[in-house]
């Protein structure tokens, strides 16, 4: 049993992936509990409050000793200093958290494009609204978010030459955008060269490359935040 227990749906990378990537790059062991024998049933128990402390609203949830944390950005903020995935300075740590929270906001918009009316309805039941929203996402929101991430990169990585959890999260974000909107993403590429270079640099790091080639990495699919519906990508 590892010191860190991650509770997140198996079958999708989803919002578990930024946390997995931080552990993988750090070379720190974690248990991906729902990928164990009990499968996704364990998530219902966690959401019912079984781990103690504050009952989580939604996964991902991380348990470390008697500490239970939910929300991607809060989990990363908690683990990063312990696993060496954020610089020491208070300014850098505050900036890292702000960037991760902005990634969270962007992911919600990437989700809401295929669920613009309700999460409880199928995409097929909200296609005209999705199409309308996709135009604004592609033309306004994607350039704004990705352009903002671009200007936050100060060197090879966000914090100069030191990799942090923000870089592994941006890597996965850019990969998700390319999966969901390959055409829009190709058109935007020239405006975000540093983000693309960062993506490739993260992918080539030995531990990340080994992870990506392993069965621990679940491919993107259409049950996830990032979904590929070609009709939205015009
Ligand atoms: N802000 C949260 C969002 C968590 C979230 O939306 N989780 C999804 C699964 S990926 C969920 O179960 N949502 C249920 C709901 O919103 O009712 C985070 O960053 O972790």
Return left, alpha or beta for 122; rule: phi > 0 is left, psi -120 to 50 is alpha, else beta.
beta
How confident is the model at residue 210, as a pLDDT? 98
CA angle 206, 59, 66 (to 5 degrees): 85
Q: How does residue 145 score in pLDDT terms, banded at 50, 70 and 90?
A: very high
56 lines ligand 1 (CB under 6 A): no
Task: Say what the pTM is.
Answer: 0.98
Report the residue among 58, 60, 104, 218 best suited for mutation to probe ligand 1: largest number of ligand atoms under 8 A from its CB. Answer: 58
Contact 183, 142 (CB under 8 A): no
How confident is the model at residue 234, as a pLDDT? 82
The protein residue with its alpha carbon nearest to ligand 1, atom 6, reads 58
| Rounded-to-integer distance, Cα 58 and Cα 91, Å | 29
14 lines ligand 1 (CB under 6 A): yes
pLDDT at 141 exceeding the cut of 90: yes
Over range 157-177, report the average pLDDT.
Answer: 98
The protein residue with its alpha carbon nearest to ligand 1, atom 5, reads 58
For residue 40, report the phi and psi dihedrals to the nearest 5 degrees: -70, -10
Express each pLDDT in 35-75 by its tens digit: 999 999 999 999 999 999 999 999 999 999 999 999 999 99
Distance 59 CA to ligand 1 centre (A): 6
């Amino acid at each position: 049993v590892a010191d860190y227990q991650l509770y997140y749906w198996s079958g999708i990378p989803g919002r578990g992936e930024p946390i997995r990537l931080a552990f993988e790059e750090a070379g720190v062991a974690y248990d991906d509990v729902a990928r164990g024998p009990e499968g996704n049933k364990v998530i219902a128990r966690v959401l019912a409050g079984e781990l103690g402390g504050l009952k989580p609203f939604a996964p991902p949830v991380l348990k470390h000793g008697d500490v239970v944390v939910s929300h991607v950005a809060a989990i990363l903020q908690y683990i990063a200093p312990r696993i060496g995935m954020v610089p020491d300075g208070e300014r850098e740590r505050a900036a890292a958290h702000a960037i991760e929270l902005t990634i969270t906001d962007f992911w919600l918009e990437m989700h809401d494009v295929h669920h613009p009316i309700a999460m409880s309805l199928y995409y097929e039941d909200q296609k005209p609204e999705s199409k309308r929203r996709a135009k604004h996402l592609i033309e306004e929101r994607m350039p704004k978010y990705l352009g903002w991430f671009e200007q936050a990169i100060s060197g090879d990585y966000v914090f100069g030459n030191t990799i942090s959890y923000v870089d592994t999260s941006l890597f996965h974000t850019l990969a998700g955008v390319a999966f969901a909107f390959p055409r829009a993403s190709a058109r935007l590429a020239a405006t975000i060269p540093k983000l693309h270079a960062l993506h490739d640099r993260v992918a080539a790091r030995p531990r990340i490359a080994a992870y990506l080639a392993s069965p621990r990495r679940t491919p993107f699919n259409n049950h996830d935040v990032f979904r590929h519906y070609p009709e939205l990508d015009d």
